[in-house]
Amino acid sequence: MQNIRAEVLLPTKELRDDIPFFTKVLGMRIDEIFPADDPSVAVFSGFGLRVRVQKGADVAPGVLRILCDDPVLIAGGKSQLMAPNGTRIDIVALAPPVVMPPTEHEFVVRRMADQAPWVIGRAGMQYRDLIPSRLGGSIIASHIRIPDGGPVPDMVHFHSVGFQLIYCYKGWVDLVYEDQGPPFRLHAGNCVIQPPEIRHRVLFASENVEVIEIGVPAEHITTIDHDMVLPTTELRPDRAFEGQKFVHNEAHGAEWWPFRLPGFIVRDTTISHNTQAVAGVQVVKRGPGKPVWATHNSDIHFTFVLQGNLTIEGLDQPAQQLGTGDAFVIPPGMPICYASPSEDIELLEVSLPGVFETKLV
């Protein structure tokens, strides 16, 4: 088998100054040095990297990033150093913590008729942004579709998130998750949550499948896992991933209860319970009673109109007539009424946290 390797080329003016920095300060190993009488090239290795420092090389000094579980244990705890040859060394956490930015509250309405652009995202899927402002980076809500059915060119991956929901809106999609058994089909009306860093993969999709995906925070890292093979051999449905359990909620046979707002009924997806109230997800339909005005104190309150229509009446806001495919965000403390709901109205409601207070006004 052919021996192939790669290296990074860095310049230097005086190699003798760089050797002790790369070996003693960074703790790299010196593998090659030449010529013997007046060395001008040295090759170092460490941290999965091979570095050639060459006198007079016509390249920029560049930046080396060293990623590790505990940056304090490298280079005396310094987070940034400058090598004698001018190369900057950044020492950072391998898995930085998920940062939840403060929510920038606003009343948001996003209509399907607005013709928000569909953009091509990961694995060729098409995305429509449902909250353009992303509430200051606290949440991303996407309407995702795959026009052509068949195998999805996805890889085993995971997300560094605080919360993530996939609700199948139309069609179906085949998924597989770490420690959750063999692949299964997510049908329209059903949903899953993807706990932080659970490995998973999208396998196959029906034609014109559409899903609603919620991610918190809006910007989060997706990492490809080249080593894990799914499905995994172990079945651990009660495994907690950073305090959250995997949920595959099915609409068939679900029980419906009076909603917290008169005039509607609701089915709970058990997501609040299984995330320790990090987030709640409910599906809402028309029920007995007359809609009333109310406020809530949830930090994030997002709703997608799955079908039907209604009018959102908000204090000091013009009435907003919404229909299938529209979405809205209600900020905490804002009086709102879900007025004139059609008999076939169906809403997907996502709240963070999963438990919050509602006051009728």
Flag whether 98 is in a domain: no
Judge if 148 and 279 occupy the same domain. Answer: no
Residue 286 covered by a domain: yes
Q: Considering its fold, how many domains does the chain have in total?
A: 3
Note whether 150 and 244 are same-domain residues: yes
Per the domain annotation, does 2 fall within a domain?
A: no
Is position 100 within any domain?
no
Q: How many CB atoms lie within 10 A of CB 274?
A: 21
Say yes or no: 14 and 56 in one domain: yes
The answer to whether residues 217 and 139 belong to one domain is yes
Q: Is residue 102 domain-resident? A: no
- Answer yes or no: is 3 within a domain: no
For residues 242 and 133, membership in a common domain is answered with yes
pLDDT value of position 315: 87
Q: Is residue 101 part of a domain?
A: no
For the chain, report the end-to-end CA distance as a whole number of angstroms. 75
Q: Residue 205: give the domain boundaries.
A: 108-248
Phi/psi of residue 134, nearest 5 degrees: 55, 20
Q: Which of 93, 125, 156 is the last residue of a domain?
A: 93
> Looking at the structure, do residues 134 and 240 belong to the same domain, yes or no?
yes
With respect to residue 296, please indicate whether it lies within any of the assigned structural domains.
Answer: yes
Q: One-letter amino acid identity for 179?
A: D
pLDDT for residue 74: 81
Tell me, yes or no, whether 222 and 154 share the same domain.
Answer: yes
CA–CA gap between residue 10 and residue 130 (Å, rounded): 45
Local structure of residue 102 (DSSP, 8 states): P
Same domain, 313 and 354: yes
| Below-50 pLDDT ranges, the chain | none
Considering the domain architecture, whether residues 134 and 65 belong to the same structural domain is answered as no
Q: What pLDDT is attached to residue 69?
A: 84
Query: What per-residue confidence (pLDDT) applies to 68?
Result: 87
Position 75 scores a pLDDT of 82
End of a domain among 248, 276, 302?
A: 248
pTM of the model: 0.87
Check which CATH number belongs to the domain holding 284 and give it. Answer: 2.60.120.10
pLDDT at 124: 66
Place of tokens 């879900």: 338
pLDDT of amino acid 123: 61
Query: What pLDDT, on a 0 to 100 scale, did the predictor assign at position 39?
Result: 93
Q: How far apart are CA 247 and CA 250, in angstroms?
A: 10
Based on the domain organization, do 28 and 116 belong to the same domain? Answer: no
